[in-house]
Amino acid sequence: MTKVRSTLNILAIAIFTLTVTSSASAVARTWVSGVGDDINPCSRTAPCKSYAGAISKTDKDGEISTLDPGGYGMVTITKSITINGGGTGSGYGSILSPTLGTGVIINITDSADVRKAVRLDWLNINGVSTGTDAIRMNAGNTLIVENCVLDGFQGDGIELNYTAANTGTVLSVHNTTIRNCAATGIRTNAFSGGQIKTAISNVHITKCGIGINQVNGTLGTVRDSMISFCSTGIQTAEPTAGSVANIDSTDISNNTGTGVNVVGTSRARIASCKIFQNGTSLAPAAQVDSGGNNSIVGNTTNTAPGGPSPFPEN
């Protein structure tokens, strides 16, 4: 009897240990530090070294927090999560992605992941002029980028590029600087028949190929932002479905090509915008609707909005 009881006690201890280990394998909040180690449990007192090391130990819908300044490495995200770079200014969280690397790749396809949402906050992502993209989302429902600096990529600062059906996808970018991206600052490309909705506010985009490029069924709003020193400021385009760009209280200036460019059956609506010193202000003007309260001057070719009569301010 004693031997049986002893065996049962050992089994109970083993089951308890496995349960504790299992429950500790992923938690709602994990931590990274510049002096951490990825073999750690990613707790505040024993943080991990990289975002990639912490993500497997973080629950779906959980958060990775950054304790101090450091380089935290490129990361692929396959579940809903928040990465918070912490700190002030541009944050503590730095990601270098050189030599055709992508700083953050998001590919959430798990049907059990209802939200399929990623939030990136206070990150500084640097491609050192050789990286491909700063942030690329291939699958997922929602991407929120706030308080970030994205700099120095051969491709795009932020790219949503869907190769499978997507509906109701949302991109929100706020208080973010994007610069030196050879292709595009922000590019959204819905899958054929799909749709992406964007909300972009207080975003500064400089020295990119195209500042913002909305492709294939993007319904986007840009507000209180600045796009300068690009080849094209804002483009709304197809080829498989028209897009709409609503542009409000935004400075589009010093772009070598067109300030606002519209392709095919797409459309742009501008209100309270300042469009200065571009190659061409708007093209084609007939595809641009106006609130009648924009300033368009100093462009090599000044074209006024040629859409229907100014839409009412109400």
For residue range 261-314, what is the model confidence (pLDDT) as tens digits? Answer: 999 889 999 999 999 999 999 999 999 999 889 999 999 999 999 876 676 654
Residue 72 lies in a domain: yes
- CA dist 64 → 80, 89, 118, 133, 139 (Å): 11, 19, 11, 22, 21
As a whole number, mean pLDDT of residues 185-189 equals 96
Q: Is the peptide bond before 284 cis (omega within 30 degrees of 0)?
A: yes
- Tell me the CATH number at 245: 2.160.20.10
As a whole number, mean pLDDT of residues 100-112 equals 96
Residue 48 lies in a domain: no
Phi, psi of 208 (to 5 degrees): -120, 170
Q: Into how many domains does the chain fold?
A: 1
Residue 8 lies in a domain: no
Q: Which pairs count as long-range contacts for 88-93, CB under 8 Å and 24+ apart, including other chains? A: 90/122, 90/123, 90/124, 90/147, 90/148, 90/149, 91/66, 91/121, 91/122, 91/123, 91/124, 91/147, 91/148, 92/66, 92/67, 92/68, 92/122, 93/32, 93/51, 93/66, 93/122, 93/123, 93/124
What is the sign, positive or negative, of the torsion defined by CA atoms of 108, 111, 112, 116? Answer: positive
- The whole domain housing 207 covers 60-297
Predicted local confidence at residue 220, as pLDDT? 94
Assign 165 a pLDDT band (cuts: 50, 70, 90).
confident
Residue 43 lies in a domain: no
Q: Give the Cα separation of 141 and 132 in Å (integer).
A: 23
Per-residue pLDDT reduced to its tens digit, 12-57: 444 444 343 434 468 999 999 999 999 999 999 999 999 999 999 9
As a whole number, mean pLDDT of residues 229-257 equals 94
As a whole number, mean pLDDT of residues 223-238 equals 96
